Amino acid sequence: MSLETLEPGGLYVVLFIQNVPPPKNDFHWGLYLHKDKDKGGTKYHIWDPNRDWVWVADHGTTTGLFKSHALVGLFQVARVCPELECEVDSAARSFDDTLNQRPGIGCDVWLFWVLELLREPRGADRYQILKCTDLKALEEEVLAWGNMHIEDAAELCRTKPDIGTVPPRPIALSKLCGL
């Protein structure tokens, strides 16, 4: 799997397993905005490094998204034109300073807060970056897809093959987001 297989401007929900064996629906959630095959893109996520419910924003550019053995796959939810990449960046960072002041925070909750912001119409033409009308249905769609591929990621975590031999990870398009 390489960055060449991703759509430039594609906005993806990325899922990672957190445990082996992985329980159903137990994923670490993030967002990835792909720039191009050479520059990679930006991964946005929050995590709890000490497992003490103190969440930290961890956003940054990467060309190594496919190197994680825990990666389940990428689920495309939007196409973002270059002029609106800054809007995605702003939405993803909008909760950074208040993460631990928000009840019920978790990586999945954070992700859907960001997606809700991306559904808001922008500009004179009222353009929506995320064209999904039902975020609960989107969550169910992503979970069903992730659960179909969860064991493949678990097997990679168990065997830890050389990164050059890691099999391709699944990439899917949402049926609910107008892609």
Q: What is the pLDDT of residues 107-151, one digit of tens each?
A: 999 999 999 999 998 878 888 999 999 999 999 999 999 999 999
pLDDT, position 125: 85
Does the structure show a pLDDT above 90 at 2? no
pLDDT, position 122: 83
Nearest in space to 155 (alpha carbons), one of 166, 164, 163: 166
Q: How confident is the model at residue 163 (pLDDT cuts 50, 70, 90)?
A: low
Tell me if residue 105 falls in helix, strand or coil. coil
Tens-digit pLDDT profile for residues 50-81? 888 889 999 999 998 888 879 999 999 999 99
According to DSSP H, which parts of the chain are helical?
85-93, 107-119, 135-159
- Alpha-carbon 51 to chain mean position: 20
Tens-digit pLDDT profile for residues 10-33? 999 999 999 988 999 999 999 999
Could you give the CA distance from residue 178 to residue 132 in angstroms, rounded to a whole number? 7
Q: Are strands 71-79 and 171-173 parallel, antiparallel or unpaired?
A: parallel
Amino acid (1-letter code) at residue 101: Q
Q: Which residue has the tokens 């445990």?
A: 19
- More confident call, 7 vs 69: 7
pLDDT, position 45: 96
Q: Compute CA distances 145 → 25, 49, 58, 176, whole Å.
A: 10, 26, 25, 13
